[in-house]
């Protein structure tokens, strides 16, 4: 069920029946020369909607604000000041919770969001919330990954590559410009390899200055349709597990009871 398509009364029923909302976290950024700027959020939202048809849940409207500062040098990228971005996402999660959902699945559709959304999940231990955050760490089940490895034509990538291009072909084929796929694959340049293993904000740009990583020449609609089905299957299974979960809410309640006990104890000491 798509949040924006429901009436108010149908929405209230959906909250009661599912208690679970899925928000796909994407961005707007360059995807080489052959994929649309909205690739991440378009794919993520579509996968979420298809999975929610399989395993009933409410899908938040398309969300395309995330961490993509490394692409600010390219036309069309949308970025928001870091502090405001954190507040925006936290406020969005709080609003989902205010509307009655006790469980929020944050489905990451952009690699650059990983650190950000995991940090926000940790922030839920700072102030007790009326909801639980769940972040699936894999887009494919072990069986799905094995199948993708069997049908894919390349063994490397990461951005606008065979996998991502196939996903667009399997969801929004009219948006792919295969005539613009670069003639040569994009491999990691390693321009910071003079340093010991290092994380830096400029690291991605140093390796992939054209915002292309991999080889999209082997992408096609058939691979894309099967890959979409594998993604949907994995997320549907994950949603089902989240809906059935009673352990995480209980652990959170236990954690905050101990926090409160410690706080009360400190107050008594003073």
Residues of the chain whose pLDDT is less than 70?
266-270
Write down the pLDDT at residue 220. 95
Name, in order, each residue with C-beta under 8 angstroms of 147's C-beta and a sequence gap of 6 or more. 226, 230
For residue 38, CA distances in Å to 109, 128, 267 come to 11, 34, 51
Q: Buried (b) or exposed (e) across 110-142, using 16+ Cβ within 10 A?
A: bebbeebbeebbeebeeeebebbbbbbeebbbe
Name, in order, each residue with C-beta under 8 angstroms of 246's C-beta and a sequence gap of 6 or more. none
Beta bridge partners of residue 59, listed in sequence order = 2, 22
Run of H or E residues at 25: strand 20-25
User: Are the C-beta atoms of 21 and 101 separated by less than 8 Å?
Assistant: yes
Q: What angle in degrees, to the nearest 10, is found between the helix axes of 39-54 and 221-244? A: 60
Write down the pLDDT at residue 64. 96
Q: Which fold has domain 3-248?
A: Rossmann fold (3.40.50)
pLDDT tens-digit series, residues 212-268: 999 999 999 999 999 999 999 999 999 999 999 999 999 999 999 999 888 787 655
List the one residue out of 149, 113, 133, 126 whose CA is nearest residue 40: 113
| Mean of per-residue pLDDT scores for the chain | 96
Enumerate the domain spans of the chain: 3-248
Q: How many CB atoms lie within 10 A of CB 199?
A: 7
Query: Can you point out the beta strands (E) in 71-201?
Result: 103-108, 132-134, 157-159
- The count of C-alpha atoms lying within 13 angstroms of the C-alpha of 57, restricted to the half-sphere facing its C-beta, is 35
Name, in order, each residue with C-beta under 8 angstroms of 166's C-beta and a sequence gap of 6 or more. 219, 220, 223, 224, 227
Write down the pLDDT at residue 267. 55
Q: Read off the tokens for 192.
A: 């910071």
> Is residue 2 classed as helix, strand or coil in its secondary structure?
strand
For residue 229, CA distances in Å to 6, 166, 198 come to 25, 12, 36
Write down the pLDDT at residue 268. 52
Name, in order, each residue with C-beta under 8 angstroms of 51's C-beta and a sequence gap of 6 or more. 22, 57, 232, 235, 236, 239
Q: Nearest 5°: phi and psi at 126? A: -85, -40
Write down the pLDDT at residue 261. 86
User: Are the C-beta atoms of 182 and 35 separated by less than 8 Å?
Assistant: no
């Amino acid at each position: 069920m798509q949040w924006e398509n429901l009436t108010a009364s149908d929405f209230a029923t959906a909250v009661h029946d599912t208690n679970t909302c899925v928000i796909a976290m994407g961005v707007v950024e360059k995807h080489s020369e052959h994929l649309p700027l909205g690739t991440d959020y378009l794919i993520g939202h579509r996968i979420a909607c298809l999975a929610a048809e399989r395993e009933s849940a409410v899908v938040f409207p398309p969300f395309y604000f995330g961490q993509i500062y490394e692409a600010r040098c390219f036309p069309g990228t949308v970025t928001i000041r870091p502090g405001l971005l954190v507040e925006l996402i936290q406020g969005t999660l709080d609003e989902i919770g205010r509307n009655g959902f006790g469980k929020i699945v944050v489905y990451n559709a952009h690699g650059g969001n990983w650190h950000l959304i995991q940090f926000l999940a940790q922030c839920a231990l700072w102030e007790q919330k009326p909801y639980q955050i769940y972040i699936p760490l894999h887009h494919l089940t072990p069986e799905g990954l094995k199948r993708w490895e069997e049908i894919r034509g390349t063994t490397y990538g990461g951005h606008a590559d065979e996998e991502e291009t196939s996903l667009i072909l399997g969801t929004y084929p009219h948006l792919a410009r295969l005539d613009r796929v670069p003639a040569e694959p994009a491999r990691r340049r390693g321009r910071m390899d003079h340093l010991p293993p290092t994380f830096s904000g400029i690291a991605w740009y140093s390796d992939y200055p054209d915002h292309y990583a991999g080889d999209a020449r082997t992408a096609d609609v058939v691979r894309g349709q099967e890959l979409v089905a594998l993604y949907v299957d994995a997320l549907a299974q994950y949603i089902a597990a989240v809906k059935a979960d009673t352990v995480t809410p209980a652990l959170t309640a236990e954690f905050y009871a101990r926090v409160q006990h410690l706080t009360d104890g400190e107050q008594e000491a003073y």
